[in-house]
Amino acid sequence: MHFPRRLTSLAATVATLTLGWIGPAQATEGGGTTAAAGAEGFLAGALPPPGTYGLLYANHYQADRFNDGQGNSAIPGFKVRADVLVGRVVHMTGTTLLGGQLGFYGVLPLVKLKVQAAGASDSRTGFGDIEAASLLAWHGPQWHTAAALAVVLPTGSYSATRMANPGNNITTLRPVVVASYLTESGLDLSTKLTYSINRKNSDTDYKSGQYLHADFNAGMRVAPAWQVGLQGYLIHQTTDDRQNGITAGPDGNRTRVLALGPALRWQTSPAAPSVELRWLKEIRARNHTKGDALWLKAVWAL
């Protein structure tokens, strides 16, 4: 294990998103992904009617442990702290294609990151990698679904010689599917599924493996303006990392992660702004940091 190389891309943890969202996930090179694990929960598949919408995400992530493939602590003195603000704009058109509503989104994260390991430390503040996508959304009496094709571009601040990087220095192609099952009694069963296909980091000759990511929510309306839920995320890496054309590590540095925690949502009416709060704890981690994430999300019509 080469600690400097692994630590270099930890900032990817907080620098990216799926279907416009960022999160504290780590996998692949240095344990860093561009997937937004845990950013979504309530109503994940229920895209809004035609119009333009603003979303703001505030995230704090911290971990004092980086696990190896057996779940053992792998890096002495390891700590990571990340604070992130993410702006996202979604535009839903009135155009119908394949029976679905056409939409687009773009996202830009601002990352403040501090990493410590083996007696060394680094901190950095800067913009992360942007993500853009087109999507189609379908709506029914109870089922709401959407599918998107997103691309993450290596626009964020990055240097192969740094431990902390707001950017990831790779291009990622990502299909996304979201779905929500909603009932009049207030039940909300929602999920977001993504699959990430990464290009090679040309600065390190490291090609991160492909991985599946899922957010999930089991929620219930407990008052006219309030919902509570049990939420979480998982990451499952499906192909090996490779460096200089050779499989990285004894297990390809394949990541496995599971996180769970409570969530709360407030919205006074369907047309009003909404606010969500969630806390997610990583209870299982392989080739990944093991930590906690606190999310605050606000949505409003522009």
Angle at 171 between CA 167 and CA 175, to 5 degrees: 115
C-alpha–C-alpha distance, residues 6 and 206, integer Å: 11
Backbone dihedral angles phi then psi of residue 117, each to the nearest 5 degrees: -170, 135
C-alpha–C-alpha distance, residues 297 and 47, integer Å: 15
DSSP 3-state of 167: coil
Angle at 119 between CA 113 and CA 120, to 5 degrees: 40
Backbone dihedral angles phi then psi of residue 3, each to the nearest 5 degrees: -55, -45
Task: Fill in the amino acid letter for 246.
Answer: I
- The runs of H, that is alpha helices, within the chain are 3-8
- What is residue 248's predicted lDDT score, i.e. its pLDDT? 92
Task: Give the global pTM.
Answer: 0.88
C-alpha–C-alpha distance, residues 107 and 152, integer Å: 10
- What is residue 28's predicted lDDT score, i.e. its pLDDT? 56
Residues 6 or more apart in contact with residue 34 via CB below 8 angstroms: 12, 15, 16, 17, 129, 131, 152, 168, 170, 172, 174, 196, 198
* Domain residue ranges of the chain, discontinuous segments joined by +: 3-301
| Two structure tokens written together for 13 | 């943890």
pLDDT by residue, tens only, the chain of 302 residues: 333 334 444 433 333 322 333 344 344 565 567 788 999 999 999 999 999 999 999 999 999 999 999 999 999 999 999 999 999 999 999 999 999 999 999 999 999 999 999 889 999 999 999 999 999 999 999 999 999 999 999 999 999 999 899 999 999 999 999 999 999 999 999 999 999 999 999 999 999 999 999 999 999 999 999 999 999 999 999 999 999 999 998 999 999 999 999 999 999 999 999 999 999 999 999 999 999 999 999 999 99
C-alpha–C-alpha distance, residues 298 and 192, integer Å: 18
- Distance set, CA 30 to CA 62, 208, 237 (Å): 16, 9, 14
Pick the CATH number of 3-301 from 3.40.50.1950, 2.40.50.140, 2.40.128.130, 3.90.1150.10: 2.40.128.130
Angle at 223 between CA 218 and CA 229, to 5 degrees: 20
- What is residue 35's predicted lDDT score, i.e. its pLDDT? 80
